[in-house]
Copies of this chain bind each other. A is one copy, B any other.
Amino acid sequence: MCHDFHGTIEFIGKRWMGIIIYQLLNGPKRFSELTENIPGISDRLLTERLRELEKEGLIIKAMIPSQKKAHYELTPAGRELETVISSILNWIRIKQKLSN
């Protein structure tokens, strides 16, 4: 359990990872949409993070063959991350209150 915890928390703590997941929680997104909504991220890193998320089974890449458009969307396991993201967002709020 300790090992999984360690792996998980470092995985979602990777650079840009949290924000990418956060974006995807608002619905499927295309590569270019992610680029636009995440200021500062490079193509290289976005690609790398997306592949890692795919590999972990947290997102899938869906192709629409008629048009040649790729979408990325969360799997059920990925969607369950909403709780984690929310708790972090909530903690940030709490912390700011406490520091007054």
Contact = CB atoms under 8 A, between A and B. Distances in A.
Contact of A5 (B5, B6, B18, B94): B18
Given A5-B88, A8-B88, A88-B9, A99 B15 contact: no
Contacts of A81: 91
A4 interface: yes
A26 to B, nearest CB: 13
Q: Which of A9, A94, A98 has the most CB of B within 10 A?
A: A9
Nearest to A38: B2
Interface of A: 1-2, 4-6, 8-15, 17-19, 22, 57, 76-77, 80-81, 83-84, 86-92, 94-95, 98-99
